[in-house]
């Protein structure tokens, strides 16, 4: 049941109880006055005037009592919202596994908590995928650079023939082309196209979700 409907029903209940109590008190008061005047001439005008004065005197009290009842009622129903806001403030990028406590009540606050938990789940999935991708990308970048450095260090140890230098340069060219392909995939990923990167990385490593 929606919260606004619950609040309305509770408010009407409180108002009904207050009005019933006041009406009963007024009835007793008027009945007492009429009984006192029954022995003589019934002074209807004075009884009505006294009744209206009593209503005017009790109206502010009724308003104050209704206000306190409404304040208590609102505080009671928005207590879960305060707890949910407190939990939200404790969640950060390192604590995305936390979730907001939900209840069985099908109201706006519970639906808000459910939607927030779903958002946290998507964020946790995205952060995990980004972390895995960064690890994978670092490894893929390190591999060709390590090969290139090793080939160059070997080549500089002594004088070599033109054929040997040519072979080393061909290896460097292949690694440069691999780096270029990787960089293009990273750019495609930054633009929202993950298919190329996923296809490239899955050639040498198990696929992972991006």
For residue 18, what are the contacts with CB-CB under 8 A and spacing of at least 6? 62, 65, 66, 69
The pLDDT of 79-106, averaged and rounded, is: 77
Residue 82: partners with Cβ closer than 8 Å, 6 or more residues away:
none
Tell me, what DSSP letter sits at residue 202? Answer: T
CA distance 66 to 60: 10
- The percent of residues above 90 in pLDDT, for the chain, comes to 0
Between 66-70, 137-141, 192-196, the lowest mean confidence (pLDDT) is in 192-196
29 pLDDT band (50/70/90 cuts)? low
Residue 50 structure tokens = 């006294």
Residue 44 CB-half CA count within 13 A: 0
Instruction: Give the three-class secondary structure for 2.
Output: coil
Question: With 50 as the cut, is the pLDDT of residue 93 above it?
Answer: yes
Residue 204 vs residues 100, 119, 139: alpha-carbon distances, Å:
40, 33, 11
pLDDT at 50: 66
Contacts of 194 (CB under 8 A, 6+ apart): 188, 210
Are 102 and 110 a contacting pair, CB within 8 Å? yes
CB of 1 within 8 A of CB of 106? yes
Report CA-CA distances (Å) from 30 to 26, 47, 160, 165, 200: 6, 7, 122, 117, 92
| For the ranges 47-51, 56-60, 89-93, 199-203, the one whose mean pLDDT is highest | 89-93
Higher pLDDT, 156 or 200: 156
Q: What angle do CA 138, 139, 140 make, to 5 degrees?
A: 95
pLDDT tens, 142-182? 887 888 888 888 888 888 888 888 888 888 888 888 888 88
**Considering the chain, what is the average pLDDT of its residues?**
72
pLDDT score, position 112: 82
**Chain centroid, CA 1 distance in Å:** 21
pLDDT confidence band for 197 (50 / 70 / 90): very low
């Amino acid at each position: 049941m929606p919260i606004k409907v619950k609040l309305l029903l509770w408010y009407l209940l409180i108002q009904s109880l207050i009005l019933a109590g006041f009406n009963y008190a007024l009835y007793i008061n008027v009945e007492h006055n009429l009984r006192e005047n029954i022995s003589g001439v019934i002074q209807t005008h004075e009884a009505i005037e006294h009744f209206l004065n009593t209503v005017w005197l009790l109206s502010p009290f009724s308003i104050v009592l209704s206000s306190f009842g409404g304040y208590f009622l609102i505080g009671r129903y928005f207590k879960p919202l305060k707890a949910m806001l407190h939990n939200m403030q404790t969640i950060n990028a390192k604590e995305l596994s936390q979730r907001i406590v939900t209840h069985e009540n099908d109201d706006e606050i519970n639906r808000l908590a459910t939607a927030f938990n779903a958002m946290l789940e998507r964020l946790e999935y995205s952060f995990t995928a980004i972390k895995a991708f960064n690890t994978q990308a670092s490894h893929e970048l390190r591999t060709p650079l390590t090969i290139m450095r090793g080939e160059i260090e070997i080549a500089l140890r002594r004088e070599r023939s033109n054929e040997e230098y040519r072979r080393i340069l061909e290896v460097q060219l292949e690694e440069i082309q691999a780096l270029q392909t990787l960089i293009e995939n990273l750019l495609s990923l930054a633009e929202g196209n993950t298919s190329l990167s996923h296809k490239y990385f899955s050639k040498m490593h198990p696929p992972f979700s991006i």
